[in-house]
Amino acid sequence: MRRRKAVAVAFVTATLLTGIVVIQAIRGKAATSERAARAPIADAFAGLPRPPRPAFTVGRPALLDRRESRARFAPVLRRVDARTEPNAEAPPVATVTERTEEGTTNILLVLSEARRQGAAWVHVRLPVLPNNRTGWVPRSALGGYRFVDTHLTVDLNRFTVTLLRDGRPVFRASVGIGRSAWPTPKGDFYIRNRLSGFGDPFYGPIAFGTSARSAVLTDWPGGGFVGIHGTNEPELIPGRISHGCIRLRNDDIVRLARLMPVGTPLTIR
Amino acid sequence: MTPREEISEPTIDELASTLAEIDADGALQETAEAAFGGTRAAFLQRSLAAAAAAAGGLFAANSADAADVATTKNDIAMLRFDLVLEYLQAGFYTEAERLGALTPKTLGWARVVGAHERAHVVALKRLLGRKTVPSPTFNYGSVTTREQAFIRTAVGFEDLTAALLKWQAPRLDSRSVVAAAITLHSVETRHAAWIRHLIGLQPAARAFDKPASQARMARLIASTNFVSAQPQLAGRSRPRLTG
In tens, the pLDDT along B109-158 reads 999 999 999 999 999 999 999 999 999 999 999 999 999 999 999 999 99
Q: What is the pLDDT of residues B172-186, one digit of tens each?
A: 999 999 999 999 999
The contacts of residue A241 (CB under 8 Å, 6+ apart) are A176, A177, A179, A233, A247
- B119/A104 CB distance under 8 A: no
The shortest C-alpha distance from A169 to chain B (Å) reads 23
Closest-CA residue of B relative to A233 is B243
| A140: chain B residues, CB-CB within 8 Å | 5-8, 141
Higher-confidence residue of A134 and B3: namely: A134
Which residues on chain B are in Cβ contact (under 8 Å) with A55? 69-70, 127, 174, 176-177, 179-180
How large is the average pLDDT for residues A75-86? 98
Chain A residue closest in CA terms to B114: A63
Q: What is the per-residue pLDDT for A218?
A: 84
**Residue-wise pLDDT tens digits, B208-233:** 999 999 998 888 888 889 999 999 99
- Taking CB atoms and an 8 Å limit, are B235 and A102 in contact across chains? yes
Residues A229-242, mean pLDDT to the nearest whole number: 97
Q: Write down the pLDDT at residue A223.
A: 86
Q: Do A51 and B179 touch (CB under 8 A)?
A: yes
In chain A, residues 61-120 whose CB comes closer than 8 Å to chain B:
61-64, 70, 72, 75, 77-78, 101-105, 107, 113, 115, 119-120
Mean pLDDT on A138-150:
97
Predicted confidence at residue B38, as pLDDT, reads 36
Chain A contacts of B101, Cβ < 8 Å? 113
Q: What single string gives the DSSP state of each residue in A52-114?
A: PPPS-------PPPTT---EEEEEB-S-EEEESSSSTTSPEEEEE-SB-TTSSBPEEEEEEEE
CB-CB under 8 Å, A195 with B234: yes
The beta-carbon contacts of A51-54 under 8 Å, at least 24 apart in sequence, are A51/B179, A52/B174, A52/B175, A52/B176, A52/B178, A52/B179, A53/B176, A53/B179, A54/B176, A54/B179, A54/B180, A54/B183
The pLDDT value recorded for residue A32 is 64
Contact B171, B76 (CB under 8 A): no
Domains, chain B, with CATH or none = 12-228 (1.20.1260.10)
Of A59, A199, A262, Cβ closest to residue B119: A59
- The average pLDDT across B84-104 equals 96
pTM of the model: 0.78
Name the least confident of A147-151, A188-192, B196-200: B196-200
Distance CA(B58)–CA(B73), nearest Å, equals 13
pLDDT, tens digit, 9 for 90 and up, residues B52-76: 333 344 333 333 333 445 578 999 9
Is residue B42's pLDDT more than 60?
no
Q: Which residues 48-67 in chain A show a CB within 8 A of chain B?
A: 51-64
A47-66: pLDDT as tens digits: 787 888 899 889 989 999 88
In total, chain A counts a number of residues equal to: 269
State mean pLDDT over B80-108. 96
Going by DSSP bridges, is the β-strand pair A92-96/A176-178 parallel, antiparallel, or unpaired?
unpaired
Question: Which domains does chain A possess?
Answer: 71-147 (2.30.30.40), 150-268 (2.40.440.10)
pLDDT at B97 over 80: yes
Q: Is the pLDDT reported for residue A140 higher than 90?
A: yes
Indicate if the pLDDT at residue B37 is higher than 60: no
A2-45 pLDDT tens trace: 667 776 777 777 777 777 766 776 776 666 666 666 666 677 77
The pLDDT value recorded for residue B19 is 34
Mean pLDDT of A88-109: 97
Kindly report the nearest CA distance between residue A16 and chain B, in angstroms. Answer: 57
Phi, psi values for residue B180, rounded to 5°: -75, -40
pLDDT(B14) > 90: no
**In this predicted structure, which of A159-173, A249-263, B29-43 has the lowest mean pLDDT?**
B29-43
Which positions in chain A touch B176 (Cβ < 8 Å)? 52-55
Between residues A217 and A188, the one the model is more confident about = A188
How distant is the Cα of B214 from the closest Cα of chain A, in angstroms?
21
* pLDDT more than 70, % of chain B: 71
Residue B164: pLDDT above 90?
A: yes
The CA distance from A130 to A7, in Å, is: 118
- C-beta atoms of A139 and B6 within 8 A: yes
Closest approach of B240 to chain A, Cα-based (Å): 5
Position B43 pLDDT exceeds 50: no
A99-134 residue pLDDT tens = 999 999 999 999 999 999 989 999 999 999 999 999
In this prediction, residue B222 carries a pLDDT of 87
Active site residues of A: 229, 245
Question: How high is the pLDDT of residue A89?
Answer: 96
Q: What are phi and psi of B56, to 5 degrees?
A: -55, -30
Q: Does A162 touch chain B (CB under 8 A)?
A: no
pLDDT value at residue A68: 84
Q: Which chain A residues have a beta carbon less than 8 Å from that of B122?
A: 58-59
Task: Name the region of B38 (left: φ>0; alpha: ψ -120 to 50; beta: rest).
Answer: left
Q: What is the mean pLDDT of chain B?
A: 77
Rounded average pLDDT over B104-113: 96
Q: Is the pLDDT of residue A228 over 80?
A: yes
- What is the least distance, in Å, from the CA of B93 to any CA of chain A? 11
Task: Residue A197: list chain B partners with CB under 8 A.
Answer: 236
